[in-house]
Amino acid sequence: MKANQVIIGAGISGCSIAYHLAKKGMKNIVVVDKSYLTSGATGRCGAGIRQQWGTEANCILAKKSIEFFETAKEELEYEGDIEFKQEGYLILATDKPELDRFSKNVKLQNSLGIPAKLLSVEESLKIVPYLNTSAFVGATFCQTDGHLNPFKMTEAFYLAAKRLGVQFFFFEEVKEIIVENNKITKVITDKHEIDTSVVVNAAGGFAKEIGDMVGIDIPVFSENHEILVTEPIEKIQGPMLMSFTQNFYCQQVPHGSFLMGRSTPNQVHSHDISSSWSFLDEMAKTICHIAPKIGELRVIRQWGGSYNVSPDKQPIIAEAENLKGFYIACGFSGHGFMFSPMTGEIISNMILNRKNEISPDLFKLNRFSEKELNAVEQSVV
């Protein structure tokens, strides 16, 4: 069989790219995934959406993506509910130096039109009354940040792409990519051979392995990030609560349950996504310190997922410099869900040779080999 583009991975990135390409008129697009829809990081993520970033690139990606989410239901003609709530992110500062860094971030965010603001402890309590006041010295808040249902949002892209003619092959693994005379000619899966000259690598935690198939070294690694969910209760919390120094995030989703996660220090680089008791211990200690009331809730389930991490904690959204027709969308470093509308927009414009509003240099593959690295994003959990 033949395809104009083969997209590897049906996570939020691959589905958004497929939709944006098809919407711009491309025909004969194939998406291949070795498992089910959202089986990768997408179906395991916290699905928080925020614009409160410390680098310009991340701020712009997030802001434009939120603009998309605000009208996504209509734009994608989705019959279901993407459960988009815009009740903000409340990011706690635990000491003065962190608060000073936040005030710089807020200036940057405001200069880009992001309505974030600094809050005192008292002002923070008006938003989340049950915080432990000795656990933080101030906070930042941005009302238009929020949360989505990751399954429903991905399905919305998926169904819209399908309606526009995109073909999806699930439970089918890409095994090999044939390159002849420095041109892609074929993608070989365990079920098909697909003639194509354009491949999009949206393989999430396995993006490096896909790069290896064409001899392109993508400087990313995967690591396990764990998360848990509690029993549902009546609504008590609007915003996502988070702290970088305390290392946690915690959100009540519309269904009523609380999702919370943290990163494991010195995590090994691997494809492991198992659950550990030590995560449970540390998560419980952290949340009982920050918000003792949440400690009354029962944990129902815990799981893990892969962060695919780049050296500057910002994504690679690019065409490989050394292999035309090989496009890469990976290295989201734990934030690819919220950037997905822009990922689709940028990659589709690149494939169609259209200009992107945002400079592609910020996300190019070979930025890491240059002397002048991007600013490294510090605002991460």
Partner 1 sequence: MRDDKIIICRCEDVTLADVKRCLEEGYTNFEDLKRQLRVGMGPCQGQTCSALIQREIAKFTHKAMKDVPIQKTRPLIIGVELRAIKDGAIDES
Ligand X SMILES: Cc1cc2nc3c(=O)[nH]c(=O)nc-3n(C[C@H](O)[C@H](O)[C@H](O)COP(=O)(O)OP(=O)(O)OC[C@H]3O[C@@H](n4cnc5c(N)ncnc54)[C@H](O)[C@@H]3O)c2cc1C
**Of 108, 233, 236, 297, which lies in the binding site for partner 1, with binding defined by CB under 8 A?**
297
The residues near 160 (Cβ < 8 Å, ≥ 6 apart) are 19, 23, 76, 77, 78
CA distance 45 to 220: 19
With beta carbons less than 8 A apart as the criterion, state whether 199 and 184 touch.
yes
- 292 sits near partner 1 (criterion: CB under 8 A): yes
User: From the CB of 242, what's the least distance to partner 1, in Å?
Assistant: 17
- R_g of the chain, CA atoms, integer Å: 20
**Of 285, 361, 375, 378, which lies in the binding site for partner 1, with binding defined by CB under 8 A?**
285
CA distance 344 to 113: 22
Residue 261 binding result from partner 1, ligand X, none, given CB thresholds of 5 to 8 Å by partner type:
ligand X
- 283 sits near partner 1 (criterion: CB under 8 A): yes
Residue 281 binding result from partner 1, ligand X, none, given CB thresholds of 5 to 8 Å by partner type:
partner 1
Q: What are phi and psi of 239, to 5 degrees?
A: -85, 165
Three-state SS for 208?
A: helix
User: From the CB of 173, what's the least distance to partner 1, in Å?
Assistant: 16
Residue 275 binding result from ligand X, partner 1, none, given CB thresholds of 5 to 8 Å by partner type:
partner 1
C-alpha count within 13 angstroms, C-beta hemisphere, residue 105? 28
With beta carbons less than 8 A apart as the criterion, state whether 273 and 223 touch.
no
- 298 sits near partner 1 (criterion: CB under 8 A): yes
Give the strand pairing for 167-169 and 29-32: parallel
User: From the CB of 310, what's the least distance to partner 1, in Å?
Assistant: 28
Residue 177 binding result from ligand X, partner 1, none, given CB thresholds of 5 to 8 Å by partner type:
none
Q: How far is residue 341 from each of residues 17, 65, 70, 153, 157, measured CA to CA in Å?
A: 8, 5, 11, 11, 9
Residues that bind ligand X (CB under 6 A): 8-14, 32-35, 39-42, 44-48, 173-174, 202-206, 225, 227, 261, 305-307, 332, 334-338
User: From the CB of 84, what's the least distance to ligand X, in Å?
Assistant: 13
Provide the token pair at 321.
């410099």
Residue 337 binding result from ligand X, partner 1, none, given CB thresholds of 5 to 8 Å by partner type:
ligand X
**Of 96, 107, 255, 269, which lies in the binding site for partner 1, with binding defined by CB under 8 A?**
255
Binding site for partner 1 (CB under 8 A): 35-39, 43, 151, 155, 229-231, 255, 275, 280-285, 287-288, 292, 294-303
